[in-house]
Amino acid sequence: MVRRPTPRRQSRGFTLLLALGVVAVVTMAVMLSFSVVGREADTQADTRRQKQAFFAAEAGLAEGRETVRLLLNNNGNNSTMGLSAALGGVAPVADIPALAAANPPWYELLPGPEGGWNPYTVTTANLSPSEIPVGVDYPEQRNVRYRVFVRDDLDDDQNTVDSNRQLWILAVGEVTMEEGRRPTRSMVQALVTNAIGESIFAPGCITKGCGPDMTYNNPTDQKAPAGTTITLP
């Protein structure tokens, strides 16, 4: 009796290939989700840094306005004020290329201890216990700073001397990053005028005696209201 050999079944490996495909798809999905989460976190961090830089610039601008007000008041009734002399004999800004080439020149209005930068830090040591909510991990702010500059407003051909009591203020807020990474900056600018007299902030000159600069110093109206009491609408 002749016995015929039983044919062997060849393993095609379909189950293994299917398992490998599922693993590859799951791995790609996980990596994609990590990438999306990382981009979202970077976007939120960049938005936070932009706000911090803007608030630092606004703080510098407010401090700069007060400094300019004091400078103009200390100048008394003088019709002109040399910016360099009023700021203590400082030279025009030279360490920032864009400002160093400007005409009129920019001057450092509030020189800070960190290469001209003023720190804008917020730490728990500087806050009272009532300002920190109970059970909250307060985020300290240590890498924010600002610089403030001032220049003349081109009122005449003397670009280093003010003659109309108007000055431009430029404030730069910055959030520093780790070494090698570009910082986040924000810039705000304002034209500051030192007006004599009480001002009315209203949509139009609606009060008798109001001059063209929205103050009561109106040379064309001889019937300005008496007294110092002002009633706002």
Token pair 């990438």 is found at: 35
**Cis ω before 139 (30° cut-off from 0):** no
Query: Which pairing describes strands 118-119 and 144-152: parallel, antiparallel, or unpaired?
Result: antiparallel
Instruction: Let me know if residue 218 belongs to a domain.
Output: no
Its pTM stands at 0.67
Instruction: Let me know if residue 108 belongs to a domain.
Output: yes
State the DSSP string of 2-16: PPPPPPPPPP--HHH
Q: Domain limits at 87?
A: 20-130+139-193
Instruction: Let me know if residue 26 belongs to a domain.
Output: yes
Instruction: Let me know if residue 33 belongs to a domain.
Output: yes
User: pLDDT tens for residues 154-196?
Assistant: 878 888 899 888 899 999 999 998 877 888 999 999 998 876 5
How many independent structural domains does the chain possess? 1
Does pLDDT of 207 surpass 80? no
User: pLDDT tens for residues 48-101?
Assistant: 899 999 999 999 999 999 999 888 888 888 888 999 999 989 999 998 888 888
Instruction: Let me know if residue 42 belongs to a domain.
Output: yes
Instruction: Let me know if residue 207 belongs to a domain.
Output: no
Rg (CA), the chain: 33
Q: With the C-alpha atoms ordered 171, 175, 177, 182, is the resulting torsion angle positive or negative? A: negative
Instruction: Let me know if residue 219 belongs to a domain.
Output: no
